[in-house]
């Protein structure tokens, strides 16, 4: 969120920065939602920034700290995959975008009983196990990307192979800011394509 908010501020989009701040507060304090991630995109000149976040359960199938060699290997594999965003978030070749930076981290936070699942996600029967969520630790993968694009005006579509890679992923809430303003979209497993025509 830091890079993305900084870019929004430099573009003079104060309202966007305020909205993002409120969204960040809601994300930290609100219920954890499986199957649902966020992708923030900002374009300034030839510089394209993205910030991605998704629950650990969506990416590796669990949300607690890795405790076995298999889980550790899964986390490391996911980090490598997420460090190659051009394979997950498909930009038009004609835009000539080259990845210049990628940072992937895992963030953890403790929650009380608040725990939610995306409506599109499969149902979970918590049954007698529900009390286990009290004080439960949730992890999220967080990534920041930077691209330089030779022809940014051609960034009119984006494909999402992200959903093919991660079976637990059901939805991405996408926010795009450009000098023309801010736009919000919902991309899903069933509709894994974003039309950016008219806002770039």
pLDDT in tens, 3-35: 545 555 555 554 444 454 444 444 443 445 789
pLDDT in tens, 160-200: 999 999 999 999 999 999 999 999 999 999 999 999 988 98
Dihedral, CA of residue 190, residue 192, residue 198 and residue 200, to nearest 10: 160
For 117, residues 6+ apart whose C-beta sits below 8 A from its C-beta are 33, 34, 35, 123, 124
Which comes out higher in pLDDT, residue 50 or 7? 50
Mean of per-residue pLDDT scores for the chain:
81
Lowest mean pLDDT among 11-20, 45-54, 130-139, 140-149: 11-20
Identify the pLDDT of residue 103.
Answer: 98
């Amino acid at each position: 969120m830091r890079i993305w908010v900084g870019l929004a501020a430099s573009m003079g989009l104060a309202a966007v920065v305020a909205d993002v701040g409120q969204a960040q507060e809601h994300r930290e304090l609100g219920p954890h939602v499986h199957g649902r991630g966020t992708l923030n995109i900002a374009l300034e000149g030839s510089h394209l920034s993205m910030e991605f976040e998704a629950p650990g359960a969506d990416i590796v199938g669990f949300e607690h700290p890795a405790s076995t060699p298999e889980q550790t290997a899964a986390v490391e594999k996911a980090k490598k995959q997420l460090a190659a965003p051009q394979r997950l978030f498909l930009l038009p070749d004609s835009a000539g975008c080259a990845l210049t930076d990628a940072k992937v981290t895992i963030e953890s936070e403790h929650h009380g009983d608040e725990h939610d699942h995306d409506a599109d996600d499969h149902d979970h029967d918590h049954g007698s196990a529900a009390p286990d969520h009290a004080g439960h630790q949730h992890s999220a993968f967080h990534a920041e990307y930077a691209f330089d694009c030779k022809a940014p005006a051609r960034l009119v579509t984006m494909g999402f192979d992200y959903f093919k890679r991660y079976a637990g992923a059901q939805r991405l809430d996408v926010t795009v800011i450009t000098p023309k303003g801010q736009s919000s979209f919902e991309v899903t497993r069933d509709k894994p394509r974003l039309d950016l025509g008219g806002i770039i």
